[in-house]
Structure 1
Amino acid sequence: MNRANLVTHARTSIERGSKSFARASKLFARQTRERAWLLYYWCRACDDLADGQDHGHGMSTIANPEKTIAAMRMMTTRAHGGEQTGNPPFDAFGVVAQECAIPKKLADDMIDGFALDARGWRPETEDDLFQYCYHVAGAVGCMMAIVMGVSARDQEVLDRACDLGLAFQLANIARDVAEDAQAGRCYLPKSWLAEARIDPDHIMDPANRAALITLVNRLCDLAGDYEDSARVGASSLPFRSRWAVLAAAGIYGDIARAIKQSDGASLEQRIFTSKGKKLGWILKAFAQALINSARRDRQGLWTRARATRPA
């Protein structure tokens, strides 16, 4: 496919896979918007391959997950090097990687997160949780920042971009506790579960409900901390990119806030935010982008400098 066709397919993918991201992406300038779609297309495809899903829905067991991850790495390497793979999402990544000089390490870091899932990994500690969130989402935040024009050498802004990815993933984990448990997965650190006296293999036992709600709320609070930090990084972006990032932060941040306000309802049903609230964040983010006064240091927050390559 040529670039225009890849952009068309990428737009369809983001509109199917994430209405929140699709809405926020429309605030970018055209070139940035197209590049964001191309990057999303590849990320979504990798996630679906790893989980046996279709645009994030219908998780199924992968017969040979190690082989799937190996193929994912191979096609990503070829695409990053400028080769045509014949696989549209990977070719889309090749286009945006070439146009924006995305470091291959960031792509490798993301795939490392899927490799953790492939071998049934579970976090032992809170640090492990953040390591995982970095690999599957923080690295994506860094790549998105580069798509928006941030230099790969600007570590401070990339740290803030990583924070937004962490915030999104923490909200995802909080929202999907029950769904993950049904699939035999758990991203709540074992150290947290031990403190709460919850059996890691039976977290959905009704007797654990009150303690589990406390842990879900803890995830939501952490998501809020990293969302706040990411807003500072947005101040370094061009106006339209700043507007889009602040809108995405608010729209997705509302998921974590709604989960906490649900008082455990998220354990029975998937939490969504309304179109009205999404539109409200687009308007609110416009004002925030104009003021551009966010200030906060990162003291006490986990940093991607602590990320290591999974063994």
Structure 2
Amino acid sequence: MNRANLVLHAKASIDRGSKSFALASKLFAKQTRERVWLLYAWCRECDDLADGQDHGHEMKPVTDPKRIIAMMRMLTNRAMKGEQTGKPAFDAIGVVAQECRLPDRFAHDVIDGFALDAQGWQPQSEDDLYQYCYHVAGAVGCMMAVVMGVPVGDDETLDRACDLGLAFQLSNIARDVAEDARAGRCYLPKNWLTEQDIDPDNILADSHRSALIPIIARLCDLAQQYAASARTGAAQLPFRSRWAVLAAAGIYGDIARGVKQSEGAALDQRIITSKAAKLMWVVKALGQAIGKPKFVDRKTLWNRRASRSLS
């Protein structure tokens, strides 16, 4: 595919895979929007390959996950070197890499997260949780920031971009506790579960429900903290990018707020953000983008630069 066709393929991917991100992405300037779509297509394809899904739906067991991860790395390496792979989603990240000088390390950090899932990994501590969230979402935030024009050496802004990725992933984990558990996965730190006398191998037992609710609320509160930090960093972005990022933060933030307010109902039904609420955030984010953001000190937050291997 040529670039124009890759963009069309990527747009179809984001339209199908994430209505929230698709809406927010329309606020970017044209060139940035296309690059965001291209990067999303690679993220979506890798996620689907790792989880046996189709655009994030209907997770099923993957045969030979190590082979899938190895193939993912090989295709990503080839694409980022400028080679054609014949796989649209991988060729898409190749275009972004060439146009934005995207560092290879962020892409490999993301793939490391998929490798953890392939191993059936579970966090032992809160620090482990943040490290995992960095791999599957924080590193994507850093990549998106580079696409929006943030210099690779601007660690302060990249840290804030990483924080938004952490916020999104913490919200996902809080929303999907039951779905993940039914698929044999658990991203709740074992020490949190131990504190509440919850059996890590049977977290959905009726006897654990009341103890599980404050753990989910804790995740939601953390998501809000990292999202607040990210809003501070958004001030460093061009106006259209700032508007889009703040809209996405608000739309996704509603997931964490909805999960917490449900007081356990999220274990039985999927929490979503209505179309009206999403449009409201587009308008509200415009005002936020024009105004001066509240400064949030992130010294007490997890630091991606202190990251370590979880394998």
The verdict on a shared fold, with TM-score over 0.5 as the criterion, is yes
Q: How many residue pairs get matched?
A: 311
Native 8 Å contact 2:180 2:186 kept in 1: yes
Q: 1:210: which partner in 2?
A: 210
Q: Is it true that 1:187 corresponds to 2:183 in the alignment?
A: no
In the aligned structure 1, how far is the partner of 2:86 from the partner of 2:253? 36
Native 8 Å contact 1:247 1:285 kept in 2: yes
Q: Is it true that 1:88 corresponds to 2:88 in the alignment?
A: yes
Q: 2:164: which partner in 1?
A: 164
Q: 2:99: which partner in 1?
A: 99
Aligned-residue offset at 1:296? 1.3
4+ runs deviating over 3 angstroms? none
Matched position secondary structure for 2:59 = coil
Q: 1:43: which partner in 2?
A: 43
In the aligned structure 2, how far is the partner of 1:146 from the partner of 1:198? 41
Q: 2:18: which partner in 1?
A: 18
Q: Which amino acid aligns with 2:202?
A: H
TM-score of the two chains, using structure 2 as the length reference: 0.99
TM-score of the two chains, using structure 1 as the length reference: 0.99
In the aligned structure 2, how far is the partner of 1:227 from the partner of 1:210? 27
Q: 1:31: which partner in 2?
A: 31
Native 8 Å contact 1:109 1:309 kept in 2: no
Q: Is it true that 1:309 corresponds to 2:302 in the alignment?
A: no
Aligned-residue offset at 1:238? 0.6
Aligned-residue offset at 1:300? 1.0
In the aligned structure 2, how far is the partner of 1:164 from the partner of 1:174? 15
Q: 2:6: which partner in 1?
A: 6
Aligned-residue offset at 1:292? 2.7
Q: Which amino acid aligns with 1:81?
A: K
Aligned-residue offset at 1:194? 0.3
In the aligned structure 1, how far is the partner of 2:36 from the partner of 2:191? 36
Summarize deviations over 1:167-204 as a string: whole Å, max 9, x none.
Answer: 00000000000000001000000000000100000000
In the aligned structure 2, how far is the partner of 1:237 from the partner of 1:187? 32
In the aligned structure 1, how far is the partner of 2:118 from the partner of 2:105? 20
Native 8 Å contact 1:112 1:309 kept in 2: no
Q: Which amino acid aligns with 2:39?
A: L
Q: 1:283: which partner in 2?
A: 283
In the aligned structure 2, how far is the partner of 1:202 from the partner of 1:174? 17
Matched position secondary structure for 1:106 = helix
Aligned-residue offset at 1:35? 0.2
Q: Is it true that 1:77 corresponds to 2:48 in the alignment?
A: no
Summarize deviations over 1:50-84 as a string: whole Å, max 9, x none.
Answer: 00000000000001000000000000000000000
Summarize deviations over 1:92-139 as a string: whole Å, max 9, x none.
Answer: 000011100110000000000000000100100000000000000000
In the aligned structure 2, how far is the partner of 1:73 from the partner of 1:308? 20
Aligned-residue offset at 1:294? 2.7
In the aligned structure 1, how far is the partner of 2:17 from the partner of 2:85? 23
In the aligned structure 2, how far is the partner of 1:96 from the partner of 1:201? 41
Q: Which amino acid aligns with 1:82?
A: G
Matched position secondary structure for 1:169 = helix
In the aligned structure 2, how far is the partner of 1:147 from the partner of 1:215? 35
In the aligned structure 2, how far is the partner of 1:98 from the partner of 1:257? 38
In the aligned structure 2, how far is the partner of 1:106 from the partner of 1:310? 16
Q: Could you say what the CA RMSD is over the residues aligned between the two structures, in angstroms?
A: 0.6
Q: Which amino acid aligns with 2:77?
A: T
Q: 2:136: which partner in 1?
A: 136
In the aligned structure 2, how far is the partner of 1:310 from the partner of 1:182? 24
Q: Which residues of 2 match residues 118-157 of structure 1 at below 5 A? A: 118-157=118-157
Q: Which amino acid aligns with 1:45?
A: E
Matched position secondary structure for 1:197 = coil
In the aligned structure 2, how far is the partner of 1:123 from the partner of 1:143? 24
In the aligned structure 1, how far is the partner of 2:310 from the partner of 2:273? 34
Summarize deviations over 1:176-234 as a string: whole Å, max 9, x none.
Answer: 00000001000000000000100000000001111101100000000000000000000
In the aligned structure 2, how far is the partner of 1:175 from the partner of 1:16? 20
In the aligned structure 2, how far is the partner of 1:107 from the partner of 1:252? 23
